[in-house]
Amino acid sequence: MKDYTKSMIVDFKEVDRFLHLKLDAFMQMLNTTSMYHTVSLGLAPDYMERRGMVWVLYSWNIKLFKGDYYARKLQFTTFALFHKDIYSHRYFLVKDEEGTLIGYAVSVWIVIDYEKRKMVKVPEDVQKVYFSQFDSELTKEQAYIVESLSTAPLKKRKIQDYTFEKEIELRFHDIDSNGHVNNTVYVEWAMESLTTDEDESFLQDHVVEDLSIVYKKEKMPGGKVLIRCLLEDSKSYHEIYDKEGCLLTLVEFTWKSKSTSSTVMKKILFLLLAVFIGTFVVIEGFILYYAQKEPQEEPDVLIILGARLYGTIPSPALQHRLDRGAAYLKDHPEVLAIVSGGLGRGEEMTEASAMKRDLVSQGIPEERIFVEENSYNTYENFLYSIQIMEEKNLGLQKENLLIGIVTNDFHIFRSTLTAKDFGISAVGLPAKTPPSIILKSYLREYLSVLKYLILDRPKTFR
């Protein structure tokens, strides 16, 4: 058995808008492989015409497992068998660069006496060219392909109601060098019959897994063809007629949904993107709303949340918090304050100690300020501040006690949400955010709120 192998790279013109290998292009690659095989055996492309004969394609049976091979090298192997000296069965197996079988096919050919216009036997000397006395048996892989593919022709069905009917006009380039429509064009037409001007969803959502096609009559240039289609679950059956009503071709596809791993991944990514956009809009909406919301009631106690120190100097963000807290305390001399913040990396004193020092420098009496210097995040700010309120009897038992939370505007929503989860009635006193960190702060706060809602809150307050 003389087989032949040729490698080809899938070009851009051979894939569809989804970069999936087009079936008609795949068939052309199979045809190209068979022609190179013939030439490699010492036969000229027109060797049959010189004898007054011509090869005529009768049918295809193709299986294609995957199609996402744009710009990748595929290996095509072909060999030929002859049946009853009349039919030539040309088999193909296709592998990717890793040697994985991605598809296989068989085309059935007959020989026509060109002058008599009748079928004749395949010349014996032509058959011998494709065989070798040293390798006459099929390999295991070849035997598998032969056993897996049926050469029985597709039969015409008796159908009363078709799902679709569509007329298609012939194009100039549909005609090949034989003077009639190229065999791959019928596949294009059959697939096109599953679309309308308004709806391409079926072809967008499905790919061909199997193809069976039988050629009944050649189509000459000009005119239109009529395609009748029956779509049933994962199969579509097509009949193609010329303008005189003569049957040209029968086609049957087996389709599979594009629920391959790559498509599933795209859907997952799209879903994640939709979730991200949705949650981002909602959460940022709350963040912005609370950032601008001034308290309608006067709080009884302030909790001023800490932020970064540069050594012992408050950062601009923290200074805005302190200024807002100091202003409120001056206007409400009866209100007490808790400054909350531990010792951060690179800081030379606790944030709470620096905050108390700053408030005192702004004229707030020390006895009105209580220091909480064990916390390292918003949750701990409230945990340890509540403990101080209990220890110092700062009105925690008071009915309708209202806590005022002083922090930067972007932080108000999460802070008041955390306070309420502790069972505290709280309002926010938003302080300005330095212009240089506004964008970063609001974007990062989205992630902080999301983390709190998904991870921290259920674990802490269950």
| 142 and 190 inside one domain | no
> What is the rounded CA–CA span in Å between residue 251 and residue 189?
10
List Cβ neighbours of 205 (8 Å cut-off, separation of 6 or more).
257, 258
| 146 and 160 inside one domain | no
| CATH number for the domain harbouring residue 21 | 3.10.129.10
| 230 and 250 inside one domain | yes
Residue 456 pLDDT level (bands cut at 50, 70, 90) = confident
| CATH number for the domain harbouring residue 308 | 3.40.50.620
345 lies in some domain: yes
276 lies in some domain: no
> What is the rounded CA–CA span in Å between residue 247 and residue 446?
64
Q: What's the 3-state SS for 344-397?
A: CCCECCCHHHHHHHHHHHCCCCHHHEEEECCCCCHHHHHHHHHHHHHHCCCCCC
H or E element in which residue 448 lies: helix 438-451
> What is the rounded CA–CA span in Å between residue 292 and residue 287?
9
Burial of 227 (0-12, 13-18, 19+ CB in 10 A): buried
281 lies in some domain: no
Mean pLDDT of the chain: 92
| 141 and 213 inside one domain | no
Q: What is the pLDDT of residue 262?
A: 61
Closest CA to 221 of 183, 172, 280: 172
280 lies in some domain: no
pLDDT in tens, 142-192: 999 999 999 999 999 999 899 999 999 999 999 998 899 999 999 999 999
Provide mean pLDDT across the span 123-139.
78
SS3 178: coil
Closest CA to 211 of 431, 85, 62: 62
94 neighbors 73 (Cβ within 8 angstroms): no
> What is the rounded CA–CA span in Å between residue 358 and residue 4?
86
What are the helix and strand counts (H, E) for the chain?
Answer: 12, 18
| 164 and 53 inside one domain | no
Closest CA to 174 of 233, 240, 221, 227: 221
| 37 and 102 inside one domain | yes
| Amino acid identity, position 42 | G
| 175 and 312 inside one domain | no
| 39 and 126 inside one domain | yes
Domain encompassing residue 396:
289-460
Place of tokens 């991605």: 102
> What is the rounded CA–CA span in Å between residue 328 and residue 350?
23
| 181 and 321 inside one domain | no
For the CA atoms of 36, 101, 189, 172, the dihedral, rounded to the nearest 10 degrees, stands at -30
> What is the rounded CA–CA span in Å between residue 111 and residue 419?
87
pLDDT in tens, 328-373: 999 999 999 999 999 999 899 999 999 999 999 999 999 999 999 9
DSSP string, 103-148: EEEEEEEEEEETTTTEEEPPPHHHHHHT--TT--SPPHHHHHHHHH
| 4 and 143 inside one domain | yes
pLDDT in tens, 200-221: 999 998 999 999 999 999 999 9
Q: What is the pLDDT of residue 134?
A: 47
269 lies in some domain: no
Closest CA to 456 of 394, 383, 374: 383
Number of domains the chain contains: 3
77 lies in some domain: yes
| 320 and 437 inside one domain | yes
Provide mean pLDDT across the span 89-115.
95
432 lies in some domain: yes
CB atoms within 10 A of CB 98: 6
Percent of the chain with pLDDT over 90: 81
Q: At which of 206, 241, 258 does a domain end?
A: 258
279 lies in some domain: no
| 294 and 424 inside one domain | yes
Q: At which of 107, 124, 153 does a domain end?
A: 153
Q: At which of 258, 273, 305 does a domain end?
A: 258
